[in-house]
Each structure stands twice: as structure tokens, then as C-alpha cells.
Chain A
Amino acid sequence: MKNAKKFEIYRTVFAVFIALLLGYIIIFMTNFSKENTDFLIGLKNAFDKTNTAFRYFLTSPLIIERKGIPEFNIRGFIQWINESVPIIITGIAVSVVFTAKQFNIGAEGQLFIGAVAASFTAVYFPGIPVIHSVMVILTAALSGAVWASVPAVMKSKLNASELVTSLMMNYVAVFTGLFIIKTFLRDPSAGQLVSLPYAETAGLWFLNSRFKWHIGIIIAIFMAILFWFIMKKTTWGYSVRVVGNNEKFAGYSGINTSKTIFNVQVVSGAIAGTAGIIELMGYHGRFLWLNGPGYGWDGIIIATLAGNNPIFVPFAGLFLSYIRVGAKTMGRYTDTPPEIVSILQAVIILLVTAEAFLAKIKEKSVIKEAGKFGKNIEKAGESNE
């Protein structure tokens, strides 16, 4: 078994490498196509430009040159960590629900509606500092759970596909959420559609106040550990895993499958519900999205990279956020659009989830184990005769 797990890690690393390589090639080609000088000089220029772009891409969240001297990029570092927070949380949410083989991909809607509802609590119910923040987060969790319960009920009671329903609910969430902000929470003094600023008491502590490094990352990592524990070590997590692996077996064993299927979607909704508000509380201090921020989709990527194991989610989230922040800086300093990251993400998902990708190597390692095992069977067979 160890070999099989090791193999998953190798494959993930290799997928990331291929994606980066592909990214390099694409950037090189776009650069080269813009060259209209001599072929060789063009080639050289394109390489130089691509290398520069890639250097920003891969190093800028940590190191930046100022006046030619490389130094630690504190702003980039904090941006990296802060941006990883919401996607780690959606990643946990998606991991939990995917473990039960429920394709509820409504995290996007859940976090949006969660943030809208929690903005109410944040704006209108100022209170005691820490308690108020907790209340805001709980409001978000509760609303996310309620939102997730719609596809969950339809799945467990009517057997309607949670995939399609949760997708539809994402759109409804954004439209309804914006309507609520516009009607009840709009800040009339602001130029564009944003909510009133949150009450002072509804903030998160700062680890570095100059660049607004908030404690979201600690919350996110805490949640990852918590849900790793819940999934692996509790009876509830056991039920969810068994239902996901073999629903019939679960029912046969006396596990209430439709209840589990409902519960896991609601719990995942509650987790996802908090993903957005933590960023808004910690960084922006008000609701300011005009569209779904896309963290729900990122959650799917991250959960996939992490093999649906919450304990790996922070790593996957930090990785994704790192290349995002790198890409943004690259976009600022060079003329390569940062959206290249989406292409890399797509390639990574495709390769990481491709069971047959590098399967030959896996087969070898598994057969090595099975070889031992096969001999055991043979021995067993002999002793029976």
C-alpha cells in the first residue's frame, strides 16, 4: 500500500511539472510570435522574456528585486498566505462532500450566500470583539448549510442529481445575494456596489497589520486538522467514507445512507459558507463582490490535488495560491496575462485525476506488493488440498 500512496505523490508532482512546462511553452510561443526581427535574435529575445516572466511567476511571492537587489517580498508573501485562506476552506468543504461521492459543486453559491448573510451580522450587530467575529462566522456557516440543504434534500428525498441542482443554486446565490446587498446593505457613499463597512468588532486579528495579514490562515489550518480528524477518527466520518466507497454496503451494515448523504452536504455547505466571509472580515472589511469570486471552483481543484484528504488541503491551497500570486505579479511586470494559471490548473486536474496516467509505473509497484500476496494465496491454496 505504501507504494501506491507514494505513487500518487509522484504523479501529482509530475503533473505539476508538466503543467509548468506547458505554461513555459505557451508563454514562449506568445512571446516569440510577437518578435518580428531576425529568427535567431527573436528566439533569444523570446527566451529572455519568457525566462523573466517565469522568474516572476515562480519566485515573486517570496523574493522581489528592488534596485537590482533581491529581497524578501513581505507584501507578496502575505498576499500569498491571505489568498490561500478562502480556497483552503472551500477545498476542505469539497473534500468532505466528495468523500461521500456526492458531486455537490455548490461551494461557490454557499460561500457567496454565506458572506452576504454574515455581512448583516457584521454590519448591524456590533458587539463584544471576539464574540462578534465568531457570530459572524457562525452566521455564514449556517447560511451556507441552509443553501446546501436544497440540493441535499432533493438528492436524499427525490434522488435528483445534486450536480445539476447545486450548479443552478450557484447562480441563484449570486443574483439573490447581490439583490440583498443592494437593497439592504448598500453603502450609499461608495461609488460602486459595496456593503456598508463592517463593525469594528467584526474583524479578525492581524499578524501583520501593515499588509493586513489576518489570522484566517490559522483558522483554515485549524479547520483542515479538525476535518481530517472528523473524517478519519469519528463515527460520523466513518459513515461518510463507507457511504462514499459503497453505498449499498453502508445500507446493508445499518448506516442510514440518505441521512448521511444529506448531512455531509449540509456540513460541507457550512464549511464553504465561511470561506468568503473570513476573507471579507480579515481583509476588506465590507462585502464588495459583484460576481462569484470563483473560490468554489478552486475548492474542487484543491480537493482533487489533496486526494480529498483535508490534511493535505492546506498544502494544495498554498500551492495554488502561490502560482496565482506569482502569475499576478508576472502580469504586472511583463506582458504575459496571469490567466495562464487557469490553463495550468486545468492540465494539473486532468493529469492528477487520470488514473491511467503513468499507470504502467504504478502497476509495477503494485504488482511488487501483489507478488508477495499472490504467493500467500498459493500457499493457502496448497494447505487446503
Chain B
Amino acid sequence: MSDNIIEMINIWKIYSNGFIANRGINFSVKTGEIHGLLGENGAGKSTLMNILFGFEKATEGKIIYKNSEVHNYNADRAINMGIGMVHQHFMLVPSLTVVENIILGIEPRKGFSTDITKAEKFVSEEMKKYGLPVPLDEKIKNITVGMRQRVEILKTLVRGADLIILDEPTAVLTPQETSELFTALRTLTEKGKTIIFITHKLGEIKEIADRITVLRKGAVVGNAQVNDLTEKDISKMMIGRDVELKIKKNPVKAGEKIMEIKNLSFTGNDGIKKIKNISFSIREGEITGIAGIEGNGQTELVSVITGMSAIQSGEIKFMDKNYDNTEKLRKAGMSYIPADRMEIGVSENNSLEENLISDRFKTKEFSKFGILSYKTIKNNALDKIKKFDIRTDSYKSPVKMLSGGNIQKAVVAREFTSGAKFIVADQPTRGIDIAAADFIRRLLVKEREKKVGVLLVSADLTELIEVSDRIIVMYKGEITAKFDDLKKVDESVLGEYMLGIKRMNTEEIGDLE
């Protein structure tokens, strides 16, 4: 008998496209602890947890829960055994109420009806017991993100979870909400629950976790008590080496204003104000970085700047002219690497060669009198495949046959070769391997030397600091900080502004032109 609530032994996961996500992982968690699971994006954390939660099947390996081996694993079984998972993207139904979401699937009944009174009573008891207050009758779409997360935790608790997996729970929270979450987590462990905490934020791990397991490239690289480690140790384990990106850059020679944003505000379809009266400019030959925790208006900012969403109020000028859609902006010389490359950046059922011309198929180079010239299209594809090292069977393969990193390279290959005067790069290196990411960063810098204006939005702060010439921090739809001299800036300084702990006043921010 061990005091481990769960043991995962020699877990392998090989996808049908040949990608290996987990390579013989051994992972165990002690009852009553908060266990941090760390790793970079793509290290295999999510896959491992999806296997633990029964969402995916391991290609090979054993799962031992409370000292007995589990066979025929699936999500139902996981829930019944007492495993609960709070996904990074909440699994909630927006138009149902909080209580309806919590009891979904385990509804108490009275005759044919749902016994909503009983449900509310039961849920409010749990709510009090674990210190997780939520408004039961409110619809999910009307409550804050922090509340939604509590609803998710309550969902696992009313299902009798003893082991709760939290997948990057703080990514979307304000600092206030984060500390509330941590208090709640401690209450939970006091009452005998066990928690797996997935993150890549080192500070949080030091604060909340008892023990950690670190993954890199699908394998376990470390397993230790948190107290025995410094943040630097952990970071070494995660990255494998002390990564100082160190990209060589010439001093900035900012030129004319290429894009000018004035008093921009934006309200989402949910009626929530995402951007509040923002003004700033982007100059040619300069990389402007935008920092911010996800959900603070960066997505909407990019969407409006690139013409994907209409301007509601305020003004955007691209080289002194107004534009109202992506088509015209692109014609005028804008390129855009979107954050969501599968959804927006490519058409996965079209061939690679066709994806590489989507913004320029009407130009003389690729068509004459409305007829496509497939010879140039093919040559263009072969050229890009070579220059950008896109690995594919054939230029005619549908894009969905490519791996994530190669799809990103295809997007980049297209966007960096359009002869743009202005590039918007939204999370350009998210989820791709280190070599490819490095390649893309260098390209951004190279474009800057060619007097191209760049707007870089990235959650990777090291990248942001290394690549940008100046950084603007967005918090709750506003600009709360600006840094011109990035030698003096590090992740923790940025973090304080991103989390809203600090904010500069108007004078400190100064000139945003």
C-alpha cells in the first residue's frame, strides 16, 4: 500500500499521424498534496492529463488509482472513481444557470421533473463547506471568469471528486482572483482532497505546490519537493538549458508612423467592453510588443486593427488612410499571423500550394484574366517549402496533413513574403518547437531591419522582451504601462503590470506615438 492516490506507469501516447506526445511517463501523486505539473507548451502535460481523465486513451501504460489498477478507462469511469478536471477552457454551457451547469448529468429528480430546490440546497451546502460562493440562479454568460472557475470546481466536488486536476487555472484570472483560488485550494486539501495543478508559471508553483513533476518533450525530466528547488532550478528543468534567447538586433531606427490608433473602444457580442479608449501608434522599423494576460483586450485589439472586426468607435489610420476591411488593409500592405492558425490561418482542406497564395491569388503573378496559373503557384510553393523548411509529403497535400509547427511555418511563409509594410504577429510561436520559434523570431527582427512596422502580441514574455523595441501592457482593455528601454525590463516587472498589481499613470506612460 502506498499513499499515492494515483500512479501512472510507463504511459505512451502515439497519435495516428505519428506524433509522440508521451514517451513512457511515470507520474504519481500523493493523497492530500497539491502537485504541480510543469512543462512548456507542447511538453505533453495536456495529453497526460487527458489520459488520466479518460478523454484520450494511452497507447501503452498502466493507471493505478487508490492502489488498484484501472482497466477500460474512460471519462465516465474517471468521474465515478472520483477524478475531476477543470479544463483551461471551461466546460460550461453559457445560457444555462450556474446550478443547472453544476447538476448537469447528475440531476436530482422529483417525478419527471428536475428537483431544482433540492439541487440548490445541495450545491449551496458544498459551496459553504469549501468556501466557493457562486450565484446559483445567474446564467453562466453573465458571471465573471473567476466565478466560472469556481463553478467548475464545484462541479467536480458535487460529483464526489477526491482528485481534482486544474489545467492552467490562473491563466485567465486577476491577481485577486488568483489569491482567492489559492485559498480555496488550501481549504480543499485540508478537507482531504488532492490537487494536480498544471501551469508554466514558476512563481505560482513555489507559492502553492508541495511537489512537482516536470515534463519536457513528452518525457519526465524531474520530480521533486518544491522546497528543495529554486525557481531557476525548475526553469532549467523545463527548458533544458538556460535559454537566453539573445537575438542580435541593431538599434532601433523608428521611422514614420505606419499605423495610428486613436480613442479606440470595442464592445464584444456579449455586451462586455473589451477595449476602453486606447490610443497609440506603430512606426516603421520598430517592433511594438503587447503584453497582457489572455482576455484583457489584446485579441479584440488585433481583430480590429486587422479589419477582422469593424471599428465601433475611435479611428485607425494605416499610412494616413482609413480602411474598413481586411481585404483593403492587405492590399495596402498589411500582413497578419493569427493566433489561431488552424481556425483562421489556414484552410486545412485546401492544398498547401493553395494556402500559400490565399492573399495574393488575384495578383498578376498568380493569375491572368481571372485564371490561376498553377505553374507559378507550384513554383511558389516549392520555393516556400525550401526557404521556410516546411516539412510535407507534397505541395499538393491538404494542410491538415501537416504538423502544427509546419502549419505555422506555412502561415509565416505566406505572411512574410507578401511585401508587407506592416506585420501583425499574434502569438507567432505558440505551441511550436524551439528551432521553429527561433526561426520566426529572427524573421520578425529581419523584417524590422527592412523598415517594416511590427505589432507583436505574445504570451511568451521572454520572447516579447527579446524581440520587441518597446512594450505596451494591456490590462482590462486599457494601456496600463509602456516600456521603451527593455534592458531594464524583466518578466516579473511586466507581470506586475499585467496582473494589475501596478499601473503607470498617464505621465509615466507618456508618449505613445
* Residues of A near any B CB (own CB < 8 A): 1, 233-236, 238, 241-242, 245-246, 248-256, 367, 369-378, 380-381, 384-385
Contact = CB atoms under 8 A, between A and B. Distances in A.
Interface stretch (B92-100, B205-213, B279-287, B343-351): B343-351
B350 A241 contact: yes
A233 B354 CA distance: 11
21 contacts: A1-B396, A1-B398, A233-B374, A235-B367, A235-B372, A238-B354, A249-B346, A252-B308, A252-B345, A253-B330, A254-B326, A254-B330, A254-B358, A370-B17, A376-B18, A377-B17, A378-B20, A380-B391, A381-B20, A381-B433, A384-B434
A378 B21 CA distance: 12
B145 interface: no
A367 B336 CA distance: 34
Interface in B291-342: 306, 308, 325-327, 329-331, 336, 338
A372 to B, nearest CB: 7
Nearest to A373: B393
Interface residues of B, number: 45
A375 B18 contact: yes
B192 to A, nearest CB: 42
Interface centre among B18, B308, B348 (most CB of A within 10 A): B18
Given A235-B362, A370-B401, 7 more contacts: A1-B394, A245-B349, A248-B343, A249-B344, A250-B358, A254-B329, A254-B331
Nearest to A371: B18
Contacts, number: 106
Contact of A234 (B20, B371, B391, B397): B371
A380 to B, nearest CB: 5
B398 A242 contact: no
Given A1-B397, A367-B16, A234 B370 contact: yes
B350 to A, nearest CB: 6
Interface of A is mostly: helix
Contacts of B325: 256
A375 B403 CA distance: 12
B338 A252 contact: yes
A250 B17 CA distance: 27
A255 B344 CA distance: 13
Given A246-B348, A249-B346, A377-B18, A238 B326 contact: no
Contacts of A242: 347, 350, 354, 358
Nearest to B330: A254
A382 to B, nearest CB: 11
A255 B347 CA distance: 13
Nearest to A379: B391
Interface string B115-158: 00000000000000000000000000000000000000000000
A360 B424 CA distance: 43
A308 to B, nearest CB: 12
Contacts of B20: 378, 381
Contacts of A380: 391, 403
A2 to B, nearest CB: 11
Contacts of B483: none
Nearest to A380: B391
A375 B330 CA distance: 38
A202 B158 CA distance: 77
B335 to A, nearest CB: 10
Contacts of A371: 18
A210 to B, nearest CB: 42
A124 to B, nearest CB: 36
B365 interface: no
Interface in B347-385: 347-350, 354, 358-359, 361-362, 367, 370-372, 374
A126 B368 CA distance: 39
Interface in B80-122: none
